[in-house]
Chain A
Amino acid sequence: GQNIDQPTEMTATEGAIVQINCTYQTSGFNGLFWYQQHAGEAPTFLSYNVLDGLEEKGRFSSFLSRSKGYSYLLLKELQMKDSASYLCAVPNTGGFKTIFGAGTRLFVKA
């Protein structure tokens, strides 16, 4: 089976750096996605990692360690607009479906 764990909530200060962790268990690995979801809105794609290491995209970076079943999303220079839920997700073995974690709600305070 597949299982994804991520913290329920985190709070950080504007201008700071925050790391949101995700651990997963899968029978076969086909990469890991991060999505951002603002309250009352649809999820939107942030990143996809399939190889180990860090991928940087502006203020956002995503890291993957396949041997540890672990990923994190790093947000730098936090802004108030980064207050949102961050969803970790992995494709299932067959590839048609994606399993989503429950999401981490990030609160950015002034």
Chain B
Amino acid sequence: NAGVTQTPKFRVLKTGQSMTLLCAQDMNHEYMYWYRQDPGMGLRLIHYSVGEGTTAKGEVPDGYNVSRLKKQNFLLGLESAAPSQTSVYFCASRRRATAGEYNEQFFGPGTRLTVL
């Protein structure tokens, strides 16, 4: 199993350009997440999905959009990139928990994005 994969691994954008980050998981997990990680600030949730066709906003959703058309894929879009979006982006997934159970997340290797 590949687990959680992300493409691309690195990208440099100019202000105003758009791009899509792709996350794929082969563990049949229901829940998927997009985080950004900045120095000294830990992981901050951008958007998440609890199932195919559903998405919800996280802590820092502005400037990002997501889609989950297939269970195994979760796409993160930047319509008009800004320097403030320079960050490392991690995708994660986890299986649906039974009542009272909270299970761990599995993370992809990350995408390092620089916006000039």
Task: Give Cα A103 to B90, complex, Å.
Answer: 15
Neighbouring B residues of A35 by C-beta, 8 Å = 104
Tally chain A residues at the interface, Cβ within 8 Å: 22
A96 touches B31 (CB 8 A): yes
B42 and A45 contact, CB distance less than 8 A:
no
Q: Which of B42, B45, B103, B110 contacts A42 (CB 8 A)?
A: B110
* Contact digits for A30-62, partner B, Cβ 8 Å, 1 yes 0 no: 110101000001111100101000000000000
B107–A43 CB distance below 8 A = yes
Report the minimal beta-carbon distance from B16 to chain A, rounded to whole angstroms.
28
**How many chain B residues have a CB neighbour from A under 8 Å?**
24
From residue B42, how far is it (CB to closest CB) to chain A in Å?
4
Q: What chain A residues lie within 8 Å of B106 (beta carbons)? A: 45
Known: A97-B33, A103-B42. 12 other contacts (CB 8 A): A33-B102, A42-B108, A43-B105, A44-B107, A45-B105, A45-B106, A87-B42, A96-B56, A97-B48, A97-B58, A100-B35, A102-B42
Q: Is the pair A48, B102 in contact by a Cβ cutoff of 8 Å?
A: yes
Q: Which residues of B contact A44 (CB under 8 A)?
A: 107
User: What is the distance, in angstroms, from B114's C-beta to the closest C-beta of chain A?
Assistant: 15
Nearest chain A CB to B66 CB, angstrom units = 14
Cβ 8 A contact of A98, one of B56, B105, B108, B110: B105
Chain A interface, >50% SS class:
loop
Which 7 residue pairs across A and B have the least CB separation, nearest first? Answer: A42-B107, A45-B104, A102-B42, A100-B43, A91-B102, A100-B42, A31-B102
Contacts of A31 in B (CB 8 A): 102
For this complex, 8 residue pairs linking A to B, each with C-beta atoms less than 8 Å apart, are: A30-B102, A42-B109, A42-B110, A87-B43, A95-B97, A96-B48, A98-B105, A103-B42
Contact call A33/B104, Cβ cutoff below 8 A: yes
Q: For the complex, give the distance between the alpha carbons of A43 and B43 in Å.
A: 10
In the complex formed, the residue of B with least CB distance to A92 is B45
Contacts of A100 in B (CB 8 A): 35, 42-44
Within 8 A of B (CB), among A83-103: 87, 91, 95-98, 100-103
Contacts of B2 in A (CB 8 A): none
